[in-house]
Amino acid sequence: MSEFISHISPLAGIFILGVLAGWIVEWIFVRLFVPNPGKKAETELKASRKQVEDLQKKNAELQASLTAAQASAAKAEKLAAETKAAPAPAAIVEAKAAPAAAAETKPAAKPVPAKVEAALVGTGNDDLTKLGGVGPKLAEAMNAAGISSYAQIAELGVEQLNERLAASGIRYSKAAVESWAPQAKLAAMGDWEALKNYQASLKA
């Protein structure tokens, strides 16, 4: 019996060594040559993350380009609107030249015809307020100073009119006195249309 056991012990040791060797070889083979699903998935996940990062980076660049393009377009539209609204240089020159041209072409005050002087007659108690620059109070002061007709005003000079009105102490436009004689001549003739045009030329 002891001999049998002595023969079995070496065989058992060889068997155990064979099993261990086979397991080691299998482990090495699996480790080196059999694909690892977990490792493959991890590699794919890293690649996917990198692609996502690249896409996010490109998206940010596109967003920045779009924002810059929109800002440029808005600036261009604003500039175009300002350019369209602004008058052209020629229009500005014409606009500035228009008042000067109008001033040059303004009709001169209509001269009083010479024949009017011959037709002047003193009617007395004329409505002196029809003359430009003469109001009701000034007309009363003229009457008090002995001036009551268009003919009188047409014949009196500026100095004489000022002297007669000085005593009344009334205020009036000294510049308007120079136009009273021509106005009075037209009023004395009854040419009211000509008087109206003359007064309009004084206001222009």
What's the pLDDT at 101? 47
Question: Tens of pLDDT along 134-191?
Answer: 999 999 999 999 999 999 999 988 999 999 998 888 888 888 899 999 999 999 999 9
Q: What share of the chain is helix, strand, coil (3-state, %, to 5)?
A: 80, 0, 20
Written as tens digits, the pLDDT of the chain (204 aa) is: 555 555 556 666 677 878 788 878 887 877 777 666 666 677 888 888 888 888 888 888 988 888 888 888 888 888 878 777 655 555 454 555 555 444 444 444 445 444 444 444 445 689 999 999 899 999 999 999 999 999 999 998 899 999 999 888 888 888 889 999 999 999 999 999 999 999 999 887
The two tokens of residue 3 are: 């001999």
Nearest Cα residue to 180 out of 160, 202, 154: 154
Q: Are 177 and 158 in contact (CB under 8 A)?
A: yes
| Helix 158-166 and helix 174-189, axial crossing angle in degrees, nearest 10 | 110
pLDDT, averaged across the chain: 77
| C-alpha span between 121 and 189 (Å, rounded) | 8
Q: Are 184 and 138 in contact (CB under 8 A)?
A: no
The two tokens of residue 160 are: 């004489």
